[in-house]
Structure 1
């Protein structure tokens, strides 16, 4: 499940802070968010670090530190930036250094980094202003990498989820998600996010041609584990409690109908580009 409503793939460039109030809704229950949200594959962390000149990492929208833990375990030094003090406090309890600010307004105070990452959060950042800020703090050859998890349950279960949301919350972002998840190919919301992120990197004028990387992996869910994460996802935090209870009961029944557990197939989609650094004013030919 994404943190972004799939029908709203990016923020208007004229109002980069418009959705920060929505983004901060995830801090209502940071403990649940931390235990229930999916992680990220080791191959992604390895690829980013292999393409970066070193291990100093800035995590934009660090949240509770789910991605930051993986980079720290790989030997990196990680600084987090997050607009929500509740999420920042949860990450700090795990030993992460976090500064509370919207990334567009954050003051780097002369610091520089080898990689700027953003896990499931770049859609809350203006794509051009965010890329420009990343370029400001990246060392030459440094890597900007922003990524999202596109999750697909078994097709019959996706259709069952779509039916549940169609009955109880037909206008909720997740209703659109599950209608699309029953089909083939990449979810159109994530395709739009990828395009917007790449366009922002190009517009910033400081990066080589953006690339899109994809990493496939799986995670098993029991009924209880799935229902634990359901309220942490985008579009659920603002639902009336009675509606959320009906969705939870319906989703639980759908999982029970397939045996009480299922495997989610995730594709982590990464949009990434290298900072050109001084003296390189023209990007190389696009590698696709």
Structure 2
């Protein structure tokens, strides 16, 4: 767990890349989450860690009012641009920990691949306190995008030379196990009940440039020393250009956890 100051700015340098290449959440999954959370048409949603608005716009276009918290100033600026068509969406530049609690105001607390950044001892009780009676916690997840295994094997040769710790492949069973752990954390908090989970298998195709931009938005790559990261990306690019077509197909699980305030 990084300290609060590190977490505030962790994605700032890659905010534009994050906005461009991170996959959105399937609208089918979002509509299903809205249905299960029984959100009224005039619901007010608190979003924790909205980033550049990756999930925000999908809920905003359904007509909900939203208060969205994002610690990175760069991501906030992008979120405000992306949400400009939605006057009922407010973007605030703050962490959830530092946000001044508005007790029992919200029908749902939403977080899209971000709630694991919040200190658990603060996050779950504060989320519950912000919710109205019978309000729901909605956690969306896009798991790490994985290339086809044959492509991974080509890339792994580069990883083993330049960054062995990053040469990991997540199959579907591994991602499902991670999702179960995230869901169990919700129940273990003692603040929520009636956990419901659903998932979709997704695929997306990237150019080599955009695939490398995608990797640049993941924490293990952000944490690398810049020269080492540049060398790794050069090696990955060479391997991809030598062994693959111009496009790379990747797969991942997109999922949600929904639980009701106790």
CA offset digits 1:2-58 (Å, max 9, x no partner): xxxxxxxxx4xxxxx636514622111422221121211112210111122323221
Q: Supply the distance in 1 between the matched residues of 2:96 and 2:190 (Cα, whole angstroms).
A: 15
Q: Does 1:105 align with 2:105?
A: no
- Supply the distance in 2 between the matched residues of 1:19 and 1:108 (Cα, whole angstroms): 18
Hey, what does 2:59 align to over in structure 1? 71
- 1:230 and 2:224 are equivalent in the alignment: no
TM-score, with length taken from structure 2 = 0.85
* Shift of residue 223, structure 1, vs aligned partner: 0.9
Any unmatched runs of 5+ in structure 2? none
* Aligned position for 2:33: 48
User: In structure 2, do the counterparts of structure 1 residues 98 and 117 end up closer, same or farther at CA, with 3 Å as the change threshold?
Assistant: same
Instruction: Output the aligned Cα RMSD.
Output: 2.3
Aligned position for 1:8 = none
CA shift at 1:68, angstroms?
A: 0.4
Q: TM-score, structure 1 length as denominator?
A: 0.78
Q: Secondary structure at the match of 2:200?
A: strand
CA distance in 1, matches of 2:149, 2:211: 16
Residue 111 (structure 1) shift: 6.0
- Residue 179 (str. 1) matches residue 168 (str. 2): yes
CA drift of 1:80 comes to 0.7
Is the partner of 1:249 in helix, strand or coil? helix
User: Structure 2 vs 1, CA of residues 203 and 111 (structure 1 numbering), >3 Å: closer, same or farther?
Assistant: closer
- Alpha-carbon deviations, 1:86-115, whole Å to 9, x = none? 222221223342222221231133461222
User: Quick one: distance in 2 between partners of 1:29 and 1:180?
Assistant: 23
Q: Return the alpha-carbon distance in structure 2 between the equivalents of residues 159 and 22 of structure 1.
A: 32
Partner residue in 2 for 1:280: none
| 1:193 positional shift | 6.0
Stretches of 4+ aligned residues off by more than 4 angstroms: none
Q: Does the 8 Å CA contact 1:127/1:196 hold for their aligned counterparts?
A: no
Tell me if structure 1 keeps the 8 A contact 2:14–2:216: no
Q: Indicate the residue corresponding to 2:201 in structure 1.
A: 216
1:76-95 alignment, distance < 5 Å: 76-94=64-82, 95=84
CA contact (8 A) 2:172 2:252 kept: no
Match of 1:129 among 115, 122, 127: 122
Within 5 Å, which residues of 2 pair with 1:109-258? Answer: 109-110=102-103, 112-150=105-143, 151-171=145-165, 175=166, 178-181=167-170, 183=171, 185-187=173-175, 191-192=177-178, 194-205=180-191, 207-256=192-241, 257-258=243-244
Q: Output the CA distance in 1 between the equivalents of 2:118 and 2:179.
A: 11
Judge conservation of contact 2:68–2:92 (CA < 8 Å) in 1: yes
Matches of 2:115 and 2:180 in 1, distance apart?
Answer: 10
Shift of residue 231 of structure 1?
A: 1.6
1:204 alignment partner, SS class: coil
Matches of 1:25 and 1:101 in 2, distance apart? 14
